[in-house]
Amino acid sequence: MAKPTPLSGFPEWLPAQRIVEQQILKIVQETFELHGFASIETRAVEPLEQLLSKGETSKEVYLLNRLQAAEGEEQSRDKQLGLHFDLTVPFARYVLENAGHLAFPFKRYQIQKVWRGERPQDGRFREFYQADIDVVGAGELPYHFEVELPLVMAEAFGRLRSLGVPEFKILVNNRRVSEGFYRGLGLNDIEGVLRNIDKLDKIGADKVRELLVDETGASQQQAQLCLDLAGISGTDASVIGQVRALAEGNGVAHELLEQGLNELEALLNAAAVRAPGTIEANLKIARGLDYYTGCVYESVLIGHEDLGSICSGGRYDTLASDGKNTYPGVGLSIGVSRLVSRLLSKGIVTASRSVPTAVLVAVLDEEHRAASDRVAAALRARGIATDVAPSAAKFGKQIKFADRRGIPFVWFPEGTNQAGEFVAHQVKDIRSGEQVDADPNAWVPQDAADLTPTVFAQA
């Protein structure tokens, strides 16, 4: 068989790299559960018609087709399926289908793969993990959840710092502030303005100004005021005063603007207490997806801003609706694969070993393999990950086998040595060379961290 050609955009980590990813997922999951979020999993596919109605990302949907359709089977659009490009759209459908079985407000987390047919590049993949949290209400959802969710994410990223993940910042805006300001200016194409403001970091202020004039009907003055609003940022409530000064100084007033400012101020005040310095109001954050209606969030790693947002989301009021009932929600999603890829490609973190194994049990010879298996069984029964040497090579080679995998301990079962003397069970720490008598029914490593692989910052 010829050597396979790698597929770009579909990451496959080596074992030690996978351990890094697993440790990150474990901390994220633990944090979500500590805050009362329940785990769900949704199917990988959704009706194409539904996926195509959810904003610009719909253009990146992968279709799911059979290699050979059954005779007479039509490939009409309403029957086609696509792989989900995020976890929010499937979650909205899940809520509608299961509303009668859910207690609202419903808090869920979801960690799954998603697929997007975009051009692979640094931090961008065609298949990748996302880790989402959402809160959905029935008919209404109090604003305090828009405050709670970024604080939960701030806690999760704070705990990831223990693994060596760099510092982070969560950027937040409130679409009511932006929409109220734009309407107060006399602009009507709100979605168009938001989409263009969302391009600021990619194409710069001059090109965005041109787009606002050409595509949304803004005057040069209106376009400049939109850019002035987008230039306001800060981590405390002084941001609110800056926006009000800009609005009042230019005769801009709208009830949505005032509502959004009050909400944004509440978030900043809460963040100052629970996550000081980590949440920043940034009025250029717009988010390109059409379904966001309130707070919108993006997150960056300090020193790695070129990677783009590693965690984003926002408030949506009409995404989950069956025509009679509406289930407003707010959610945030971590781009796990994007984060992991940067940590690995830049050598920021590493794993202490490539396997979960803490102990390798040596084999004297094949006739005594059963004795080694019994030792391994005794250690595993007490939760110690244990492997048995694959061959009865010289002990030196068995130790090298363990060393190459990062296994810290090698166990030598009791038995009779070549001199005819009885030798008790012994365990060797191959890092220090210390070798001591040990009981497989009682032994534990002195350092509990040796039981499982650890992830840490590389020097």
Residue 311 has a pLDDT of 97
Whether 377 maps to a domain, the answer reads yes
Under 8 Å CB-to-CB from 368, ≥6 apart: which residues? Answer: 392, 413, 415
Predicted local distance difference test score (pLDDT) of residue 56? 55
Cα distances (angstroms) measured from residue 58 to each of 61, 64, 82, 129, 415: 6, 14, 10, 18, 66
Say if residue 236 is exposed, middle or buried (CB neighbours under 10 Å; 0-12, 13-18, 19+). middle
Position 287 scores a pLDDT of 76
Number of H helices, E strands in the chain: 14, 21
457 by DSSP, 3-state: which?
Answer: strand
Q: Which of 273, 338, 283, 278 is nearest to 308 (CA)?
A: 338
Of the residues 350, 378, 403, the one at which a domain ends:
350
Residue numbers of the domain that contains 437: 359-445+450-454
What are the C-alpha distances in Å from 331 to residues 9, 119, 311, 385, 401? 26, 26, 10, 37, 46
Q: Is 96 in the same domain as 240?
A: yes
Residue 35 sits in the same domain as residue 184: yes
| 134 beta partners | 108, 331
Helix then strand then coil, in percent of the chain rounded to 5, is 40, 20, 40
What are the pLDDT tens digits along the chain (459 aa)?
678 888 999 999 999 999 999 999 999 999 999 999 999 999 999 999 888 876 555 678 999 888 776 655 555 556 789 999 999 989 999 999 999 999 999 999 999 999 999 889 998 999 999 999 999 999 999 999 999 999 999 999 999 999 999 999 999 999 999 999 999 999 999 989 999 998 998 899 999 999 999 999 999 999 999 999 999 999 998 999 999 999 999 999 999 999 999 999 999 999 999 999 899 999 999 876 667 889 999 999 999 999 999 999 999 998 788 888 999 999 999 999 999 999 999 999 999 999 999 999 999 999 999 999 999 999 999 999 999 999 999 999 999 999 999 999 999 999 866 566 778 999 999 999 999 999 999 999 999 999 999 999 987
In a domain, 182, yes or no: yes
Residues 6+ apart with CB under 8 A from 87: 42, 110, 112, 114, 130, 132, 333
Say how far apart CA 256 and CA 154 lie, in whole Å: 27
20 and 52, same domain (yes or no): yes
User: Do the Cβ atoms of 426 and 413 come closer than 8 Å?
Assistant: no
Residue of 448, 453, 442 lying closest to 375 (CA atoms): 442
Burial class (CB in 10 A: 0-12, 13-18, 19+), 145: buried
Structural contact between residues 409 and 445, judged by C-beta atoms closer than 8 angstroms: yes
Give pTM, 2 decimals: 0.90
Angle at CA 331, nearest 5°, toward 119 and 212?
60
Q: What is the CATH number of the domain that holds 318?
A: 3.30.930.10
CATH number of domain containing 398 = 3.40.50.800
Q: What is the DSSP letter of 317?
A: S
> How far apart are alpha carbons 85 and 82 in whole angstroms?
9
| DSSP for 322-352, written as a single string | -SS-B--EEEEEEEHHHHHHHHHHTT-EEES
In a domain, 206, yes or no: yes
Q: What are phi and psi of 49, to 5 degrees?
A: -55, -40
398 and 439 share a domain? yes
Last residue of a domain, one of 328, 350, 372: 350
Name the residue among 181, 193, 146 with its Cα closest to residue 316.
146
Pair (261, 286) in one structural domain: yes
- Rounded to whole angstroms, the Cα distance separating 369 from 383 reads 21
Do 107 and 252 reside in the same domain of the chain? yes
- Residue 345: φ, ψ to 5°: -65, -30
Is 4 within the bounds of a domain? no
Same domain for 32 and 138: yes
Which has the closest alpha carbon to 395: 352, 420, 363, 366?
A: 363
- Give the end of a domain, one of 307, 324, 350: 350
**Is 346 in the same domain as 370?**
no
For tokens 């790693």, name the residue.
301
Buried b / exposed e across 347-384, counting CB within 10 Å, b at 16+?
ebbbbebbbebbbbbbbbeeeebeebeebbebbeeeeb
Residue 174 lies in a domain: yes
Model pLDDT, residue 183: 96
Helix (H, G, I), strand (E, B) or coil at 313: strand
